[in-house]
Amino acid sequence: MTAAIVLAGGRAARMGGADKASIDIGGRTLIDAVYDALAGADPVIAVGPQSVGRPGVRVIREDPPFGGPVAGLAAALGAVGDSAEVWLLACDLPRAEAVVAQLRDVALAAVDDAVVLEDADGRIQWLAGRYRTESLRRAVAALTSARDASMRALTAGLSLRTVVDRAGAAIDLDTWDDVRDYRLTTRTVDTEDES
């Protein structure tokens, strides 16, 4: 069984501190879209406030809070148990199901530490991937401090297998403009489908 870590503990500074996980997209919150994509993962660990809790989801918090994604990941790894692999997803992926669908059946070679999406601009999406749990633990242990560390620093020594994101699944919603544009795009697609 593959575990899952969902990072939902950021400040959402570019959204004025809004509760990003609770933003409604098409009748479903962003966090619920991610949880739905991870159906079957066990355990599911969410890093963030208690409001992201759902049945079957264990919520934890890095101490002190707001230490960044690597600090959240480091806190969650202790709760993953002996799962060989772990999904690592941000809470702001409205197309999380397409992320998981593209990566689910990609086998990791012996040299691979993870499989992650690469967007159309060639950027690696570290928070849209499936990792070997022990590889993440080693990478965290190698850091001087997890607090305020970047995902780039964490993954610098890892061998990442990339999958080109052909479905636009790695889109994340970091600003209110992103939310507005995504809603408009999906509303346009829904309208065209009904025609």
Which phi and psi angles does 89 have, rounded to 5°? -130, 145
Asked if the structure places residue 27 within a domain, the reply is yes
User: Which CATH number fits the domain that encloses residue 102?
Assistant: 3.90.550.10
CA distance readout (Å), 116 to 65, 132, 154, 190: 26, 12, 14, 28
CA distance 86 to 69: 15
**Distant-in-sequence, close-in-space partners of 85: CB < 8 Å, separation ≥ 6:** 2, 3, 108, 130, 131, 132, 133
Asked if the structure places residue 48 within a domain, the reply is yes
Q: What is the 3-state secondary structure (H, E, C) of the chain?
A: CCEEEEECCCCCHHHCCCCHHHCEECCEEHHHHHHHHCCCCCCEEEECCHHHCCCCEEEECCCCCCCCHHHHHHHHHCCCCCCCEEEEEECCCCCHHHHHHHHCCCCCCCCCCEEEEECCCCCEEEEEEEEEHHHHHHHHHHCCCCCCCCHHHHHCCCCEEEEECCCCCCCCCCCHHHHHHHHHHHHHHHHHHHC
Tally of domains in the chain: 1
Residue 129's beta-bridge partner residues? 88, 116
pLDDT of residue 175: 82
Asked if the structure places residue 97 within a domain, the reply is yes
Asked if the structure places residue 195 within a domain, the reply is no
Which of these, 150, 138, 93, 82, lies nearest to 117 by C-alpha position? 93
Q: What is the CB neighbour count within 10 angstroms for residue 65?
A: 15
- Type of residue found at 191: T
Asked if the structure places residue 126 within a domain, the reply is yes
CA distance 23 to 75: 25
Asked if the structure places residue 30 within a domain, the reply is yes
CA distance 168 to 40: 23
Residues in the chain: 195
Q: Print pLDDT tens along the chain (195 aa).
A: 799 999 997 766 677 667 888 898 888 999 999 999 999 999 999 999 999 999 999 999 988 888 899 999 999 999 999 999 999 999 999 999 999 999 999 999 999 999 999 998 899 999 999 999 999 999 999 999 999 999 999 999 999 999 999 888 888 888 888 888 888 887 644 434 444
Which domain covers residue 142, as residue numbers? Answer: 2-190
Asked if the structure places residue 129 within a domain, the reply is yes
